[in-house]
Amino acid sequence: MIPTSFEYVRAKNLSDAFKLLGKHAKVIAGGHSLLPLLRFRLAQPDTLIDIGQLPQLKGIKKAGGGMKIGAATTYRELLESKELKALYPLIAEVTEHIGDLQVRNAGTIGGGLAHADPAADMPPVMLVLDAAFLLQSKAGKRTVSARKFFKGPFTTALKPNELLTEIQLPAPPKRTGMAYASFEQAASGYALAGAAALIAVANGMITRAELAFTGLADTPFLAPAAAKLVGTAGDELISQVAAAAVAGVEANDDIHANPVYRAHLATVAARRALTTALGRAR
């Protein structure tokens, strides 16, 4: 479990980090995703750029009706923010179950999202919240919707010379309920299948419904079937929508769950998340 040798550079500022970025460099903040890859020699970078201490990548602030989170903000810092919890209780709910205390103390939200584990808990949350990610490089900056960010297992829209610097959360609609339900793989704690849901209601009718999965397929994804709930009272339709959302998806197959069971768990998770979200919206 000894990595290949590499240069370690603690970036003094962002432009310092941009200069070092490239094909043979890896970025580290909390290190909880990267270190196992290094130790297994699955990643063999020449240079490790530590951005975990950069103040400009830290912090949670209000922005319009929404919020902005610095990419190097730790899970613990997310949990300590009362404002974040008030506006996006789903983030706190999910963060509490990421890793263990040590992981949450060191691991960062941006690091986890950029790592793009197909069974991580946070990506589906970002999808239902319709977050946007600020990507920066020497050349400038661009914003990519979370819904276009996750491309495949451990693969994102990030270019080798770019850094994910900020997570931008739009204002949630009024009278919104959010929920997450998942089934953990017993060893890793990652989701065998998990679903995040967001439902807004007005006058007893659903005005917006979002549903996203993790662990189910090769990348977290938003399920369009949730839209069928809009304009209805929800209740009876939820089970149908949960089943429709999973139908036709090519579910992952591994030693922990075959595709049939995994798809079934995803259906149950979707139903439970939608039901809880609807209850909370009301």
Binding region for other proteins (CB under 8 A): 1-2, 4-5, 36, 40-41, 183, 185-188, 255-258, 261, 264-265, 268
Looking at beta carbons only, is 75 or 183 nearer to other proteins? 183
Looking at beta carbons only, is 37 or 157 nearer to other proteins? 37
Q: Please state the closest distance from residue 258 (CB atom) to other proteins, in A.
A: 7
Residue 211 tokens, joined: 């549903």
Q: Please state the closest distance from residue 143 (CB atom) to other proteins, in A.
A: 33
The torsion angles phi and psi of 215, rounded to 5 degrees, stand at: 80, -20
User: What Å distances lie between residue 219 and 14, 91, 113, 115, CA to CA?
Assistant: 29, 19, 12, 12
Looking at beta carbons only, is 76 or 264 nearer to other proteins? 264
Looking at beta carbons only, is 4 or 53 nearer to other proteins? 4
Distance CA 45, CA 38 (A): 8
Residues 6+ apart with CB under 8 A from 146: 123, 126, 127, 129, 130, 131, 132, 133
Q: Please state the closest distance from residue 99 (CB atom) to other proteins, in A.
A: 12
Q: Please state the closest distance from residue 85 (CB atom) to other proteins, in A.
A: 22
Looking at beta carbons only, is 13 or 258 nearer to other proteins? 258
Question: Strands (DSSP E) along the chain, which ranges?
Answer: 7-10, 25-28, 47-50, 60-63, 66-70, 132-137, 140-145, 150-152, 155-156, 163-169, 176-184, 191-202, 205-214, 221-222
HSE of 211 in the Cβ direction (CA atoms, 13 Å)?
34
Q: Please state the closest distance from residue 38 (CB atom) to other proteins, in A.
A: 12
Q: What is the three-class DSSP state of 218?
A: coil
Looking at beta carbons only, is 83 or 96 nearer to other proteins? 96
Q: Please state the closest distance from residue 72 (CB atom) to other proteins, in A.
A: 24
